[in-house]
Amino acid sequence: MEIKMTLKPERERNSDSIKNAESLSFGKLRSDHMFLMNYEGGVWKDARIVPYGPVEVMPGAVALHYGQSVFEGAKAFRHEDGEIYTFRFEENAKRMNHSLSTLCMPEIPVDIQMEATLKLLDVERDWCPAQPESSLYIRPFVFGTEDALGMEPSATYTYCIMLSPSGAYYPGGFKNTVRLLITDRFHRAVSGGTGSAKCCGNYGQAFRAAKLSKTYGAKQVLYLDSSNTYIEEVGAMNHFHITKDKTIVIPEFTDSILKSITSISVMELAKSLGYEVRQERIRINDFIEQVKSGDIIEAGGFGTAAVITPVCEYIFENNEVITVGDCTIGENIRKIYDAYTAIQTGDAEDKFGWLTKVPRG
């Protein structure tokens, strides 16, 4: 694919700011450039890398009215050799296509998504931070741009990849555990809906419940299925727990749960560390009982941004709180977190072949 480059002059680039920062917040900073490509007349065209800035959109664009918009989240890491590596980006590209087809949008071949991302990362390599728990967060997204108010899929689209030098998603990073709200009044997704796609509507509609969770001192909501029977997932991560016989249990992927790349990776890694791993439908009542009885000893969330986030408390709307273990980061979560992040940062051998080095030039 030919990628047209319109780059900022060197003197106008300022990635030094990230090198001097003690720690970085999540998702606030931008690198100098972005990748853009348009879909028109049935083809993807005009691949280009340009300075990061506003993208013109007509007020009648389908994405703005009917939410025809999907995104991905991936990370690139700076290793000690000074090179930049992406983590399982092909999986993100495949999932992007799942999301695109779910929303009746045109797919983008995986190799094109890969090439665009690697090229942008090459241009922006100075923006990849080296601080602990930091990465260059990759946010590809596609949105319908046709100026048409009939309720039909857009005929035109824009694919954009932007980069954000970022630190931990939850402030403080891995040293903290979090509390989740369990509510039976709000749901993230329903069977037959779009929960397994990474589409904007799933997130915008979840702000209301997330806002409620804050009033309970919680970071997020642990969503149940719409019959309030089974555990589904958290707003920005899959959920897991570890039983006292050291089995890692993750809710079965259904069409209302996003198939997390962190989850599938940790399952593979944990097996190699000697853990049993199981996916099943988990009844919320069984979960509560097993937390109370001590059969569940650790719990948390898996996600690209959230990595492995330990959860220590669950609160209900009647203010009842249940606590997992002694509310510290458990030894199993710590062991898995260390092994997982060591592969990402290059401190351990990439024995699963998850990393791709960003080629130079």
Summarize as ranges the residues that interact with ligand COI (CB under 6 A): 73, 236, 303-305
CA 106-223-331 angle, to 5 degrees, is 105
Is 300 or 303 the residue whose CB approaches ligand COI more closely? 303
Is 117 or 304 the residue whose CB approaches ligand PLP more closely? 304
Residue of 68, 135, 164, 260 interacting with ligand PLP (CB under 6 A): 260
What is the identity of the amino acid at 55? V
- Binding segment for ligand PLP (CB under 6 A), chosen from 5-13, 21-29, 112-120, 253-261, is 253-261
Distance of CA 183 to the CA centre of its chain: 23
> Is 161 one of the binding residues for ligand PLP (CB under 6 A)?
no
* 3-state SS, one letter per residue, for 36-99: EEEEECCEEEEEEEEECCCCCCCCCEHHHHHCCEEECCEEEEECCCCCEEEECHHHHHHHHHHH
Least Å distance, CB 244 to ligand COI, is 29
In the bound state, the residue with its beta carbon closest to ligand COI is 73
Binding to ligand PLP by CB under 6 A, coded x per residue (else -) over 8-47, reads ----------------------------------------
258 binds, among ligand PLP, ligand COI, none (CB under 5 to 8 A by kind): ligand PLP
Binding to ligand PLP by CB under 6 A, coded x per residue (else -) over 288-307, reads --------------xxx---
What is the identity of the amino acid at 159? Y
Which contacts of 333-342 are long-range, i.e. CB under 8 A and separated by 24 or more positions? 333/242, 333/298, 333/300, 333/308, 335/273, 336/248, 336/266, 336/269, 336/270, 336/273, 336/275, 336/308, 337/174, 337/307, 337/308, 339/269, 339/273, 340/265, 340/266, 340/269, 340/307, 340/308, 341/133, 341/307
DSSP assignment, residue 138? Answer: E
Least Å distance, CB 236 to ligand PLP, is 4
Least Å distance, CB 133 to ligand COI, is 14
> Is 258 one of the binding residues for ligand PLP (CB under 6 A)?
yes
Which residues from 164-223 bind ligand PLP, rule CB under 6 A?
A: none
CA 347-354-137 angle, to 5 degrees, is 80
Is 179 or 198 the residue whose CB approaches ligand COI more closely? 198
> Is 97 one of the binding residues for ligand PLP (CB under 6 A)?
no
> Is 236 one of the binding residues for ligand PLP (CB under 6 A)?
yes
> Is 269 one of the binding residues for ligand PLP (CB under 6 A)?
no
Q: Using CA atoms, how far apart are residues 319 and 329, in angstroms rounded to an integer?
A: 23
Binding to ligand PLP by CB under 6 A, coded x per residue (else -) over 331-350, reads --------------------
Q: For 192, phi and psi rounded to 5 degrees?
A: 90, -5
DSSP assignment, residue 104? Answer: T
Cβ neighbours of 66 (radius 10 Å): 18
Q: Which of 157, 125, 146 is nearest to 36 (CA)?
A: 157
Least Å distance, CB 202 to ligand COI, is 9
Is 95 or 297 the residue whose CB approaches ligand COI more closely? 95
Is 52 or 253 the residue whose CB approaches ligand PLP more closely? 253
Q: Using CA atoms, how far apart are residues 245 and 255, in angstroms rounded to an integer?
A: 29
Least Å distance, CB 167 to ligand COI, is 13
Residues that bind ligand PLP (CB under 6 A): 73, 233, 236-238, 258, 260-262, 302-304
